[in-house]
Amino acid sequence: MDCVKNIIIFFGKIIQSIVSMGDDPANEIIPRLWLGNRQASQNEFWLRQNDITVVFNATKDIPFVSGISSMYRVPVDDNLQEDEIRNMGLWSWEIVFKIIKEYKQRKTILIHCAAGMQRSAAIVAMVLIAMFRCSTDEAIAYIKKKRSIAFYGQANFYKSIKGFEKSFFDMIVKEKQYSKYPKLPLPP
C-alpha cells in the first residue's frame, strides 16, 4: 500500500510540475496578497522586488529563505488523503486569522505550496471568504481568474474550504456580527 501511495505522490508531483511550466511563479490575487509556487518562495530577488515580508508555506518540506520577517508553515500534503483534507480544515481558522492580521498591518504576503495550485489556493480561498464574505464557489472562480492553474483539475481541498465557509458564516450568525463582517465586492 505504501508503495502505491508513493508512486501516486511521485507522479502527482511530476504532473504538477508539467502543468505549472510556463506559468508565473506567483500571481497577485488582491493587492499585497500573492498566490504562488516553490519557485516564487525560493527566489530572493523576486521576493524583494515584490516587497514580500510574510510567507505562508503550505508544505511539510520546502525550506524558507532568509530575509523574510515573518514565516509560517502549514504542514499539509496534497495527496487526496482524507487525513490531509481534514488537517487543512483543522488549520483553517488559525491560518486565516494570521494572514488577515498580517494583511491589516499593510504587509505584503506570499502564500505558496509546491505548484501554487491546490494547498495555497485553498488557503487564499478561505481568506477571501473571511475578508469579502463570498461563497466557496465565488472565491474559487475569482482565484482562477487571477491564477489560471489554481485548482487545476478540481479543488482537492474543496471540502476544507466549504467547511471553513460554513463555520465562518455560522459564527457570524451566532455572534450577530453582521456589521463587523459586511459583504464586500471582490476587487476587479
What is the pLDDT of the chain when averaged over all its residues?
A: 90
Beta bridge pairs of residue 72: 56
And the C-alpha cell for 96? 486565516
Q: What distances in angstroms separate CA 96 from CA 30, 79, 93, one per listed residue?
A: 15, 22, 5
Among 120, 130, 6, 132, residue whose Cα is nearest residue 74: 120
pLDDT tens figures, 70-91: 999 999 999 999 999 999 999 9
pLDDT tens figures, 2-48: 666 566 556 555 555 544 444 799 999 999 999 999 999 999 999 99
Please state, as a whole number, how many other Cβ atoms lie within 10 Å of the Cβ of residue 164.
27
Taken in order of first residue, the domains within the chain and their CATH numbers are 26-175 (3.90.190.10)
CA dihedral of 127, 129, 134, 135, whole degrees rounded to 10: 120
And the C-alpha cell for 138? 465565488
Q: What pTM was estimated for this model as a whole? A: 0.87
pLDDT tens figures, 136-178: 999 999 999 999 999 999 999 999 999 999 999 998 888 877 6
> What is the reported pLDDT for 173?
82
**Cα Rg for the chain, rounded, in angstroms?**
16
To 5 degrees, how large is the angle CA 58–CA 64–CA 66? 150
CA 122 to chain centre: 5
Q: Is the dihedral of CA 143, 144, 149, 152 positive or negative?
A: positive
